[in-house]
Structure formats: C-alpha cells, structure tokens
Amino acid sequence: MTFYTFARSVVNAIFRPLYRIQAIGAEQFPKEGGVLLCCNHISNFDPIVVGIMIKRNVYYMAKEELFKMPAFGKIVSMCNAFPVKRGMSDREALRKALKVLKEGHVLGLFPEGTRSRTGELGKGLAGAGFFALKSDAAVIPCAIIGPYKSFRKLKMVYGSPIDMAELRKNKASAEEATELIMSEIHKLINEHKEFSA
C-alpha cells in the first residue's frame, strides 16, 4: 500500500461522516486514461475532498512555498503534488502536468487559481484551457457545493466529459477552452445547489 492510498483511506474515514459528503455522478468518471479534472475552489480542504472521492490517484500542482516547509513539504510530495511558481509562467510545472496527463493519470486543477472568498464561481485562468487543448485527456468538470460545516451535507458533483474536439480542431485559444470548462462547472453548481427560503 502506498502512502497516498493509506492517507486517502484515513482521511476518507474522517471527512465523509464529518461533512456528510455526497458524491453525484462519480460512476461516470473515466476508469482509465488521462483525465483533466477541473473543479471550483471554495476551501483549502478542496484538494483533499477531490482526492478521496474517486478511486484513482489524483495529481496536483501546488504553490512551491508548501514544498519549502520541511515536514509538510515531504507529505505534500507523497500525496502526488508537485510545485508550481505562482505569478509567472513555470515551464517545468507545465511540462510535468502534461506528462501526468500523457501517462494516463488524473490531474486535478482549480481553474480559478485561488479560493473564492464569497463561494461564488470566479473567472477561470487560461491554464485549464491550455492543458485541455494540449493533451488528449478527458476533461471532467466538477463542482463542490458546501459549506464545509460539521455534519452539514457537502456535495461533490461530477459532470460528463466535455467535448473538446471542435475547439482542438479549430485551434481555439486557451481562454476560449477555459470559458467552456467554467461554463460547465457553473451549470453543475446551478443544477445541484439547494435554495433555502
């Protein structure tokens, strides 16, 4: 058993009952092949929840500052994260991410780039579109619908693969691809959020 598998089982046992996590659409998640999993970002717990809700290992890009913390940095690395420099184009991180997808793994991405302070979906960065266009990976939208409060229901909603064929064929811009991805995430949020009077 790898550290990732062990950590996922332990965290799963804690988080699922604590946040009453309900997975919707997980059965349609690709069981093999490269997957670009794009999700909204409402909490620091998001990468953890995304990682425990599917049976495949998920890789992440994480800000390089985390890897400079001796003990924590080692744990982050063992959980399939790799560093990326924020605020600049990090070619090494881009190559690593594309390699993850090419080798048939799952790359978890939060296109907004940072947590939403309001809980509302923000504007997506071009990186998500770049990876979607530069790889043959399936692009899966995902929505986390909170809040993260003890014993309150938290939803993880997985959408169907986004058809990127037309955009890839027409050599669309990364920004256009990201807009499509964000629109699909927005649809999931609107379809599954609960309204209270």
Per-residue model confidence (pLDDT) at position 196: 41
Q: Which residues contact 89 (CB under 8 A, 6 or more apart)?
A: none
Per the structure, the complete domain to which residue 12 belongs is given by: 3-192
Whether 34 shows a pLDDT value over 90: the answer reads: yes
Q: What is the CATH number of the domain that holds 165?
A: 3.40.1130.10
Residue 112: inside a domain? yes
Residue 197: inside a domain? no
* Nearest by Cα to 17 from 154, 151, 156, 157: 151
Judge if pTM exceeds 0.85: yes
Residue 186: inside a domain? yes
Q: Say which range, 55-59, 78-82, 84-88, 186-190, has the weakest mean pLDDT.
A: 84-88
Residue 98: inside a domain? yes
Contact 100, 107 (CB under 8 A): yes
Crossing angle, helix 3-19 and helix 70-78, to 10 degrees? 90
Domains: count for the chain:
1
The mean of the pLDDT values for the chain is 91
Where helices occur in the chain by DSSP H, the ranges are: 3-19, 46-52, 70-78, 91-102, 126-134, 165-169, 174-192
CA gyration radius, the chain: 16
